[in-house]
Amino acid sequence: MVKKWLLVMILLWPFHASVASDVYSHRIAQFKANKQAMQNIAQALAYDDFEAIADAANQIEVWGQAMARYFPEGSNQTPSQALDAIWEQPEAFAKAIDLNIKAAQRLQDIALDEDGSKLPQAMRDLSASCKACHQSFRY
Ligand code: HEC
């Protein structure tokens, strides 16, 4: 019986390991894209390129909507920088995601309204929502 379970575990192990690393590599790719999107927004701000700002903000929002699904419990093996706090304080993590989504939506709305005067503050708010989550939930 023990041997049988051992065999099952050995057979399942690589499966679990590869699922975890798929989740990890996907979210890292998305966070790198977030960083690029923020750089694109900063550049576009200098030219009042409203369309580029709205596109980048939308991309950040879409990832925000999906983000929670890419943090299954315990998916922070090395080299992940995700903290256990994500699963210990699920409500706070959900709230941090929500703030990020709302800030991205707001920036997008302002860009679509072509209201250049409100863009810099909305950009700062979005950036603050990234940093707030990193402070609580990332090494
Ligand atoms: C709700 C939480 C949360 C929000 C919001 C968030 N991040 Fe992150 N971010 C994380 C976590 C957690 C990690 C670590 C993931 C890991 O290593 O497994 C991370 C990792 C990163 C990384 C490192 C990727 C790498 O190469 O290792 C970058 C860059 C990044 N985030 C940028 C951003 C930007 C830019 C924003 C805002 C537009 C943002 N993040 C919003 C939680 C968040």
Q: How far apart are CA 35 and CA 108, in angstroms?
A: 16
Q: Is 82 in the pocket of ligand 1 (CB under 6 A)?
A: yes
Can the peptide bond before residue 79 be classed as cis, meaning omega within 30 degrees of 0?
A: yes
pLDDT given at position 21: 82
Q: What is the pLDDT of residues 28-66, one digit of tens each?
A: 999 999 999 999 999 999 998 999 999 999 999 999 999
Q: Is the pLDDT of residue 4 over 70?
A: yes
Closest C-alpha among 62, 66, 83 to residue 136:
83
What is the separation of C-alpha 126 from the centre of its chain, rounded to a whole number of angstroms?
12
| Atom of ligand 1 minimally distant from the CA of 104 | 38
Q: For residue range 56-102, what is the model confidence (pLDDT) as tens digits? A: 999 999 999 999 999 999 999 999 999 999 999 999 999 999 999 99
Distance CA 74, CA 121 (A): 36
pLDDT band at 132 (very low <50, low <70, confident <90, very high): very high
Residues 6+ apart with CB under 8 A from 89: 136
Binding site membership of 32 for ligand 1 (Cβ less than 6 Å): yes
Pocket test for ligand 1, best of 27, 31, 35 (most atoms within 8 A of CB): 31
Statement: residue 108 has pLDDT above 60: yes
Q: Is 71 in the pocket of ligand 1 (CB under 6 A)?
A: no
Q: Is the CB of 89 under 6 A from ligand 1?
A: no
Confidence of residue 7 (pLDDT cuts 50, 70, 90): low
Token pair listed for 109: 């709305």
Give the distance (Å) from ligand 1 centre to CA of residue 134.
Answer: 6
Q: Tell me how far apart the alpha carbons of residues 126 and 118 are, in angstroms, rounded to a whole number.
A: 13
Structure tokens that stand for 31 in this block: 């966070």
Question: Which residue owns the Cα nearest ligand 1 atom 39?
Answer: 130
Q: Tell how far CA 123 is from the center of its chain.
A: 16
